[in-house]
Amino acid sequence: MITDGFLFISLLIAIAAILVYLDKARGLPVFRYVPGFVFLYLIAALLNTVGVFGESDSIDAVGGGVKDALLPAMIMLLLFQCDVRKIIKLGPKLLLTYAATAVSIMLGFIITFAVFKGVLDAEAWKGLAALAASWTGGSANMAAVQGILNPPENIFGHVLIVDTIVYSLWLLVMFSSVGVSDKFNAWTKADTAALSHAASTAEGAEESASDADTMDLVALLRVLAIGLFGSALATVIGGKLPEIGVVVNSTTWTILIVSIVGLVIGSTRYGKMAGASDVAYIMLYIIIGVIAAGSDFTSLFEAPIYLLAGLMVVAIHMVLMIIYAKLTKTELFSLAVASTANIGGVASAPVVAGAFNRELVPVGVLFALIGAFAGTFFGLAAGQVMSLFA
């Protein structure tokens, strides 16, 4: 049993390094469909389930301290990729589809919580808010809301496992939808010609490494300095701002500050600095590992109601988006990629987009980058409404 905090965090980093090696160096096909983050969820939670990680003040101090320090830095560095000007070029129809997708997911959580609140834990809304952030953004957004609302470990363990299971099932549904896209588009009477324009305006969303600075010691230290100092400074400022309601606290202010700073920098030439995304993903792996290590697979069997709630959320989301598509004559590609960008994030949306049309991969990237910024705030908004029912 591991009770030493340094050994705990080192083991998580070692596992993350192996997963990244298998993905990037060995190119295992499974990583094309299931991101390494999901495997890290499963492995860390499994280690905790079988008793490899013990409860100790050392683990709590090291894990909590590392997560609190890296979380704002990671969010800011990830948003360096998000160029608002390119997102605007997608056009109003695609942006409206993305917004409708996110709103349908939020409504799914609110309706589901209202139905199940009588059989859920008293603070279940906090865990569901974190899950809503994941399903309207990604793992980074879930970590952000978890840090803000601090749901009880057992509740967060439930939603973490639900996230992994439902995400995997939904990704399978999105890939399968490619085969029925023509029939669906005919049913909605969608105009698919507009997608060619979207592909051309989104071209260049994925910057090649040659367009960025050289990756060297100077670049990496610059990124670390900006990320960590920015995180520390935002934390200090956030701690001095007033708390508002149940979701706006010092951590909320900190996340808002680094999100705005990251978005502003992302729209300048400095947003393409070498190493920013790589360092951010290293931080994300560590944060996900720390969070997942507090989960226990047995919690899913103790509370299957959470899995049922998660399935109900995506069912409501699907029904609302089909209605939206029929009313607005929207093609299946936009729905599938926007949905995957929300529920799956930046690791999955480009893959699903490529399954429809390789030229439209940049649309998936830009959709996911919107979620990287907005997911935290969508999750907090859903949490605020759910707290009124609690």
Alpha helices by DSSP H, 21-152: 36-49, 57-78, 84-88, 92-116, 124-135, 139-149
**Which residues fall within 8 angstroms of residue 239, CB to CB, at 6 or more apart?**
250, 253, 254
Number of H helices, E strands in the chain: 18, 0
Cβ(267)–Cβ(89) below 8 Å: no
Domain positions in the chain? 5-389
Q: What is the pLDDT of residue 206?
A: 47
**Which residues fall within 8 angstroms of residue 210, CB to CB, at 6 or more apart?**
none
User: CA 4 to CA 286: how far, in whole Å?
Assistant: 16
pTM (2 decimals)?
Answer: 0.78
Give, as one character, the DSSP assignment of residue 242: P
User: CA 283 to CA 9: how far, in whole Å?
Assistant: 12
Q: What is the pLDDT of residue 6?
A: 94
- 140 φ/ψ angles, rounded to the nearest 5 degrees: -65, -40
| HSE value, Cβ hemisphere, 13 Å, CA-based, for 114 | 9
User: CA 224 to CA 232: how far, in whole Å?
Assistant: 12
Q: What is the pLDDT along the chain (390 residues), one digit of tens a residue?
A: 899 999 999 999 999 999 999 988 888 888 876 778 778 888 998 898 898 998 889 998 999 899 889 988 988 888 887 777 777 777 788 889 999 999 999 999 999 999 998 888 889 999 999 999 999 988 889 989 998 999 988 888 888 888 888 887 888 788 888 888 889 999 999 877 666 555 555 555 444 434 456 778 888 999 999 999 999 999 999 999 998 866 778 888 998 899 889 888 888 887 778 888 889 889 988 988 888 888 777 766 766 889 999 999 999 999 999 999 999 999 898 899 999 989 987 767 877 887 787 667 778 878 888 888 889 999 999 999 999 987
Cβ(333)–Cβ(356) below 8 Å: yes
Cβ(59)–Cβ(44) below 8 Å: no
DSSP-derived 3-state class of residue 80: helix
Token pair, residue 214, equals: 């050289």
Q: Which of 150, 137, 167, 163 is nearest to 75 (CA)?
A: 137
Strand partners of residue 244: 248
Q: What is the pLDDT of residue 213?
A: 62
Q: Which of 351, 382, 379 is nearest to 364 (CA)?
A: 351
Q: Which of 145, 184, 97 is nearest to 367 (CA)?
A: 97
**Which residues fall within 8 angstroms of residue 4, CB to CB, at 6 or more apart?**
56, 58, 59
Token pair, residue 126, equals: 């906090």
User: CA 120 to CA 158: how far, in whole Å?
Assistant: 11
User: CA 309 to CA 298: how far, in whole Å?
Assistant: 17
Cβ(138)–Cβ(345) below 8 Å: yes
